[in-house]
C-alpha cells in the first residue's frame, strides 16, 4: 500500500511517500521538499503560490519513488487550531456488560462540545474511561457497570483556513484521504516505544508557528499552536544586525547557537548587511540575539501546559524537540535548563528506505502523517478520477510492533 503525507508549512512544503508492506514494515520511498511562499503562520495567504509549491514537492517525491500519487494524508496547522478536553457519559442497563455502542454514545456526547460555528472538528481522541467512578480504564468493553464516563481530547480547525488549504491541495490535482492535526502527527513521527508509557511534551518548532502537544501514555492529552517559530528568530537577527531576511536566515543556520557559551569566542562572522555593505559580528553576540526568542517560545509552551494540565514539571516526564528549528545548535540544552527535564531531539524512527533523507526533525510531521495513513482502510482503485487528477497536475506543470502501537493510539479516533 502506497501512502503519501503532505506537510504544508510556513517555510517549506514536504511530501513523503511510504510503502507499507503486508508484514507492517514502512519503507520510505520518496521525498520532496520545496520552499513555501504562500503561507503565513501556518495559514494560506496566497492560494496560487501554495498550490504551485505543493505540485513541486509532490513531483519531486514522485520522481524519487517512481510512483504516481493521487491521494494524500494532509497535515493541518496554524493558530486557528483549537483544542479542549471534553467529558462524555453513557448510562448502562443493570445486568448488562458495556458494549462498543455504549462507548460510542459516551464519545458522541463528549463531541457535542459547543465549539464556535467557524470551527470544524478534526479529532475526538479518548484519553481514559471511568466505570462507576473507577478511573484509569483504557478499554471498558465487556466490563460490568451502570455508569460509563470518558474524557475526550477534541481538536478543531477554522473552517476558512481549512477550506483554503483543501482548495490548494485539490488544485494541485490531489484528493485528501484524511485531515490530521500537525500536533498529533509530530508525536506519531517521533515518540519512541518507551515514551508511549510516559507523559511527554512534544514541541514542533517550525518556521511560523510552534506546535505544543502533551502525550499521556501515547494519547494526545493537550495541544496548542503558538504564533512563534524559527522565522521570528531570523527576523530578530535581521532587525538587530540590519540584514536582509535571507542573509539573516543563512547566518542563523550556519553559525547560530541557542547559548552564547556554545559559540566560539574567537570567531567573528562576516555578514552582508542591507545596502550591500559588509559587517562583522562575534559568534557569541549572535547567540545572545537568538536566545531570548527561543526562551519566549519555551516559556509560552510551558504556560500553555500549566494552564491546561497543571505544572509542567509535574505533568511531564520528558521533552521532545522536533521541527526544522529544533536543529539550532544547543536548543535542546536551553530547553533542559529552562524546564529542568530530560530533553531530546525528535527524529522519525522505525522506518526503512530513505532514512538518510527523512530521519531528521524537519521531516517528523510528514513521516507522522504517513504513519497515520497506514492505519486507514485501504481504498479501492479509482482509475477515472485518478487520471483526471493526474491530467490536472500536468496542466499546472509521483515494523509490525510499531504499527500495533500506533493503531492502538488511533483506534478510537472516529
Contact by Cβ (8 Å): 145, 92? yes
pLDDT of residue 406: 53
State yes or no: pLDDT of 202 exceeds 50.
Answer: yes
Q: At what angle do helices 245-255 and 283-309 cross, to 10 degrees?
A: 90
Segment 89-94 long-range contacts (CB within 8 Å, at least 24 positions apart): 89/147, 89/148, 89/149, 89/150, 90/148, 91/146, 91/147, 91/148, 92/145, 92/146, 92/147, 92/148, 93/146, 94/146
Q: What angle do CA 101, 103, 108 make, to 5 degrees?
A: 90
Hey, what's the cell of 180?
490530521
pTM assigned to the model: 0.88
How far is Cα 213 from Cα 220, in angstroms, rounded to an integer? 7
Q: E strands of 78-196, at which residues? A: 82-91, 119-131, 134-137, 147-158, 175-181
Question: What is the mean pLDDT of the segment spanning 341-361?
Answer: 90
Question: What is the mean pLDDT of the segment spanning 79-104?
Answer: 95
Which CATH entry fits the domain spanning 193-346: 3.30.1280.10, 3.10.400.10, 3.30.420.40, 3.60.110.10? 3.30.420.40
- Residue 379: which pLDDT band, with cuts at 50, 70 and 90? low
The CATH number of the structural domain formed by 82-158 is: 3.30.1490.110
Question: What is the mean pLDDT of the segment spanning 129-146?
Answer: 95
State yes or no: pLDDT of 274 exceeds 70.
Answer: yes
pLDDT of residue 411: 52
Q: Tell me whether the CATH fold assigned to 82-158 matches the one assigned to 193-346.
A: no
Question: What is the mean pLDDT of the segment spanning 242-254?
Answer: 95
Widest CA span in the chain: 83
pLDDT of residue 383: 30
Percent of the chain with pLDDT over 70: 91
Contact by Cβ (8 Å): 126, 150? yes
> What are the residue boundaries of the structural domains of the chain, listed by start?
82-158, 193-346
Strand (E) or helix (H) holding 15: strand 12-20
- Residue 410: which pLDDT band, with cuts at 50, 70 and 90? low
Calculate the alpha carbon distances from 373 to 74, 385, 405 in Å: 10, 20, 14
Hey, what's the cell of 275?
545596502
State yes or no: pLDDT of 399 exceeds 50.
Answer: no
Question: Higher model confidence: residue 384 or residue 327?
Answer: 327
Contact by Cβ (8 Å): 1, 20? yes
Contact by Cβ (8 Å): 83, 156? yes
Closest by CA position to 32, among listed 358, 369, 371: 358
Percent of the chain with pLDDT over 90: 81
Amino acid at each position: 500500500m502506497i501512502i503519501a503525507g503532505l506537510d504544508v508549512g510556513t517555510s517549506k512544503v514536504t511530501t513523503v511517500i511510504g510503502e507499507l508492506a503486508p508484514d507492517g514494515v514502512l519503507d520510505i520511498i520518496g521525498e520532496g521538499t520545496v520552499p513555501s511562499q504562500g503561507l503565513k503562520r501556518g495559514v494560506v495567504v496566497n492560494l496560487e503560490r501554495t498550490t504551485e509549491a505543493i505540485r513541486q514537492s509532490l513531483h519531486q517525491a514522485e520522481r524519487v519513488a517512481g510512483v504516481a500519487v493521487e491521494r494524500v494524508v494532509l497535515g493541518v496547522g496554524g493558530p486557528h487550531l483549537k483544542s479542549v478536553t471534553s467529558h462524555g457519559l453513557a448510562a448502562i442497563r443493570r445486568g448488562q456488560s458495556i458494549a462498543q455502542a455504549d462507548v460510542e454514545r459516551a464519545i458522541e456526547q463528549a463531541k457535542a462540545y459547543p465549539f464556535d460555528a467557524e470551527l470544524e472538528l478534526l479529532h475526538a481522541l479518548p484519553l481514559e474511561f471511568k466505570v462507576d467512578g473507577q478511573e484509569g480504564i483504557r478499554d471498558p468493553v465487556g466490563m460490568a457497570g451502570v455508569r460509563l464516563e470518558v474524557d475526550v481530547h477534541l481538536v478543531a480547525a477554522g473552517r476558512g483556513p481549512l477550506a483554503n488549504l483543501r482548495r490548494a491541495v485539490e488544485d494541485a490535482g490531489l484528493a485528501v484521504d484524511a485531515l490530521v492535526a500537525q500536533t498529533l502527527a509530530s508525536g506519531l513521527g517521533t515518540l519512541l516505544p518507551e515514551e508511549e508509557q510516559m507523559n511527554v511534551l512534544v514541541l514542533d518548532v517550525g518556521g511560523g508557528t510552534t506546535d505544543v502537544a502533551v502525550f499521556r501514555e501515547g494519547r494526545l492529552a493537550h495541544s496548542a499552536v503558538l504564533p512563534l517559530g524559527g522565522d521570528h528568530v531570523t527576523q530578530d537577527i535581521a532587525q538587530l544586525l540590519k540584514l536582509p531576511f535571507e542573509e539573516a536566515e543563512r547566518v542563523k543556520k550556519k553559525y547560530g547557537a541557542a547559548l552564547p557559551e556554545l559559540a566560539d569566542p574567537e570567531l567573528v562572522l562576516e555578514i552582508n548587511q542591507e545596502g550591500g555593505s559588509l559587517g562583522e559580528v562575534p559568534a557569541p553576540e549572535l547567540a545572545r540575539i537568538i536566545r531570548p526568542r527561543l526562551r519566549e517560545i519555551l516559556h509560552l509552551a510551558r504556560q500553555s501546559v500549566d494552564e491546561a494540565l497543571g505544572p509542567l514539571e509535574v505533568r511531564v516526564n520528558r521533552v521532545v524537540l522536533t521541527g526544522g528549528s529544533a536543529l539550532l545548535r544547543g536548543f535542546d540544552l536551553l530547553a533542559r535548563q529552562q524546564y529542568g527535564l530530560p530533553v531530546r531531539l525528535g527524529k522519525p524512527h522505525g522506518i526503512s528506505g530513505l532514512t538518510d533523507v527523512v530521519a531528521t526533525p524537519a521531516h517528523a510531521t510528514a513521516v507522522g502523517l504517513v504513519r497515520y495513513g497506514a492505519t486507514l482502510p485501504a481504498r479501492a482503485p479509482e482509475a477515472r478520477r485518478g487520471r483526471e487528477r493526474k491530467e490536472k497536475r500536468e496542466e499546472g506543470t509521483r515494523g509490525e510492533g510499531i504499527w500495533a502501537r500506533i493503531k492502538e493510539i488511533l483506534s478510537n479516533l472516529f
